[in-house]
Amino acid sequence: MTTMIVLLGLVMVIGPAGPGQVRPEQLGPEASSQLSDLVFKNVKVLKGIPVDEFMDTMGMFASSLGYDCSSCHSPEIRTNRDAFAIETPAVQRARGMITMMNTINRNYFRGEPRVSCFTCHRGNYSPEIIPSLALQYGELKEDPNALNIFPDRKAYADQVFEKYFQALGGRDRLANLTSFAATGTYTGFNTGGAEVPVEIFARAPDQRTQIIHMDIGDGLKTYDGRNGWVAEEWRPVPLVSLTGGNLAGARLDAVISFPAGIQKAFTEYKVGSTVIDDHAIQILQGTNPGETPVNLYFDESGLLVRVVRWNKTAVGTVPTQIDYSDYREVAGVKLPFRIVMTWTDGQNTFTLKEVQANVDIDRAKFSRPAPFKRR
């Protein structure tokens, strides 16, 4: 899939009653000023949605068609961000496609978002209309990241968690882990694949901040226990307030930093199974009222090796996959030293080198960060 490099302002949207739309009064004062049509120019269809959801919508387009920004927008975007507002034929076509998609959902699925860009395109610019015999008679492959899982009624979530806790060092040791400060390296589309220093600060039960040190300026992502923000150079505004599934995802990242609290992160669980890289995997799908599910993947040793979560956008639901590996012991507890986050806008890799447990962390580390500013 083509990585989206500069997601800064595609100019499309859905109608006033479209899925994913929010009213300004449903958001805080900061987030309500970050609605798509207030931040971007020439938005005609995707109005009234938060900036972070708008960017995930661009990710849906990229993933569904195998595109990046320059595939739809004017070549001028490489040197001029305002050029995202130029109406190219591809932008105009996309507006029509969104209208068609919404009409299908409204007329045949009672307005539920059952049809998305991916339904027809599936990674192709032009949807295939001729059946594929290779697909029909080829090997059947199960998608381990499927939203719908087949429950195993003979397995119980408590059993999976107990094995997980024991694999990490036991409940008592996990309970004694209350904070940590980590250093290492980060690579991503915004570094051009180069390694740059990263710091991660976390405090139980659900506070986390990561700081990516780059020559152009530091990029921060923070969750303070209730609110989340991102301040990075490539974002459409210097400080993005996280909303919806992105806010829930930031909270989950913080909770997973302290495994003792994961079991209580969701009100209900389903247990299933799948295969990843020829290894048997047990799935716990956690749900909370009003939120999309989250899949937790555990290997045969009991360790958490993957998390998949989803976020609803105006044109469908997009996934985020986080893989955990290279577990090492820190203060008697095993923690992952390699984390790879893959989503429709790109892929980031965190490789930790040193983790200090139970350190005193200034509360200011988890407060609302300053907007991104170039050095």
Residues 6+ apart with CB under 8 A from 137: none
pLDDT one-digit tens code per residue, 347-361: 999 999 999 999 999
In terms of Cα–Cα distance, which of 352, 340, 68, 86 is closest to 202?
352
CA-CA distance, 143 to 120, in Å (whole number)?
A: 18
On whether both 264 and 317 belong to a single domain, the answer is yes
pLDDT for position 144: 95
- Residue 21 — pLDDT band, cuts 50, 70, 90? very low
On whether both 199 and 236 belong to a single domain, the answer is yes
- Residue 171 — pLDDT band, cuts 50, 70, 90? very high
CA-CA distance, 349 to 194, in Å (whole number)?
A: 11
Domain endpoint, select from 90, 106, 141: 141
- Residue 2 — pLDDT band, cuts 50, 70, 90? very low
Quick one: 209 exposed, middle or buried, by C-beta within 10 A (0-12, 13-18, 19+)? Answer: buried
pLDDT for position 16: 35
Does the pLDDT at position 141 exceed 90? no
On whether both 113 and 178 belong to a single domain, the answer is no
On whether both 195 and 240 belong to a single domain, the answer is yes
Find the farthest-apart pair of alpha carbons in the chain and give their distance in angstroms, rounded: 62
CA-CA distance, 39 to 8, in Å (whole number)?
A: 10
On whether both 205 and 312 belong to a single domain, the answer is yes
Quick one: 286 exposed, middle or buried, by C-beta within 10 A (0-12, 13-18, 19+)? Answer: buried
Does the pLDDT at position 314 exceed 90? yes
Dihedral of alpha carbons 105, 108, 114, 115, sign? negative
- Residue 345 — pLDDT band, cuts 50, 70, 90? confident
DSSP string, 77-127: GGT-GGGGGS--HHHHHHHHHHHHHHHHHHHHSTT-----HHHHHTT-SS-
Tokens of 301: 């040793």
Tokens of 162: 């107990």
Tokens of 357: 């447990």
In terms of Cα–Cα distance, which of 222, 314, 229 is closest to 31?
229
On whether both 88 and 4 belong to a single domain, the answer is yes
Backbone angles phi, psi at 227, to 5 degrees: -120, 155
Number of domains forming the structure of the chain? 2
Q: 56 or 5, which is more confident?
A: 56
- For residue 325, give the CATH number of its domain: 2.50.20.10
On whether both 171 and 132 belong to a single domain, the answer is no
- For residue 85, give the CATH number of its domain: 1.10.468
- The CA-atom distances, in angstroms, between 14 and each of 55, 66, 235, 279, 358 are 14, 22, 22, 42, 48
On whether both 246 and 350 belong to a single domain, the answer is yes
On whether both 17 and 131 belong to a single domain, the answer is yes
- Residue 70 — pLDDT band, cuts 50, 70, 90? confident
On whether both 117 and 187 belong to a single domain, the answer is no
In a domain, 37, yes or no: yes
- Domain interval for residue 18: 1-141
Does the pLDDT at position 28 exceed 80? no
What percent of the chain is predicted at pLDDT more than 90? 81
- Residue 69 — pLDDT band, cuts 50, 70, 90? confident
pLDDT one-digit tens code per residue, 30-44: 556 799 999 999 999
